[in-house]
Chain A
Amino acid sequence: MANTNTSVGTKIKRPLSPHLQIYKPLINMVMSILHRITGAALYLGTVLLAWWLVAAASGPAEFRIASEFFGSTFGYLILFGYSWALIHHMLGGIRHFIWDTGRGLDIKTVDLLSWGTIVFSVALTLLVWFSVLVFG
Chain B
Amino acid sequence: MDITILGQQLLGYIPLGDIVLYLAPLNLFMFASTLAFTTIIAISKTETQVEADFGTLKDKEVKVDQKEFKIRRFLAIVCGLATAGAMITGDLFNFILFVCLIGIVNIGIVAAVKQVDVLDAAFQYGLVAMIAVLPLFGGAAMILASAGTISLLEIVNIPTTFMMLFGSLLLFIGVAGETGVAPFYATKAEMFRTPGSPFLLIIHLSSLLVIVRVIEILLIINKPF
A and B interact physically: no
